[in-house]
Amino acid sequence: MTAMRVRTPAIEGVREFTPQVFGDDRGCFASPFQESAFTQAVGRPLFPVRDISHNISARGVLRGIHYTAAPPGRAKYVYCPYGRVLDFLVDLRVGSPTFGRHQTTELSGGDCRALYIPVGVGHAFLSRQDDSIVVYVMSEGYVPEAELAVSPLDPALGLPLPEGGDLRQSPRDGAAPTLAEARDKGLLPDYDTCREVEAALWP
């Protein structure tokens, strides 16, 4: 088993995993997920996997902030095997001790760093290189009506996005509400409910 460096960031429940990367003139090899390291860090194995997806993004594409209503809720394990992205996590769980807090992490094919994202924590990223790939390992399948978004451009969140940059968003993301608007409309998940949903992922 290769070495894995684990960090506990500022958002409650999030874990960051950085594996050892082996490279030579042929390319590189890494193990972005290692069950023993995950179990030791989180206190239980990874959730039963229901869905694995990925996207490919051109430089300047901004995706998110996406989250899933709870229930059903979705926990995620995310990494970038190729390219380079600036990844953002935002705690959207009303009642969480870290509600509204964000963290920024660079993910790339060079370091194969991965993030465990608990139920109710929003995810976004800015692609900093053409053809950047982000892989999502998820605890639940896709339910369109449960998938929601908050604007990454909300000044109250203060995400470190480049000023005056030509950011490319989907129409859905461009029309997403601010954090305050989403909260006022009752769209944000409840912290205790998210924890209950997440605990139920393990049979």
pLDDT digits (tens, 9 = 90+) for 158-174: 999 988 778 999 999 99
Active site residue 136: yes
Active site residue 102: no
Read off the pLDDT of residues 120-172 as tens digits, 9 standing for 90 and up.
Answer: 999 999 999 999 999 999 999 999 999 999 999 999 999 999 887 789 999 99
Annotated active-site residue in 67, 123, 136, 191: 136
Read off the pLDDT of residues 54-107 as tens digits, 9 standing for 90 and up.
Answer: 999 999 999 999 999 999 999 999 999 999 999 999 999 999 999 999 999 999
Q: Residue 177 pLDDT more than 80?
A: yes
Q: Residue 1 pLDDT more than 60?
A: no
Read off the pLDDT of residues 13-55 as tens digits, 9 standing for 90 and up.
Answer: 999 999 999 999 999 999 999 999 999 999 999 999 999 999 9
Distance CA 125, CA 152 (A): 9
Distance of CA 39 to the CA centre of its chain: 19
- What was the pLDDT predicted at 150? 98
Burial class (CB in 10 A: 0-12, 13-18, 19+), 151: buried
Annotated active-site residue in 66, 77, 102, 191: 66
- Contact assessment for residue 135 and residue 25, using Cβ atoms and an 8 Å cutoff: no
Q: How confident is the model at residue 2 (pLDDT cuts 50, 70, 90)?
A: low
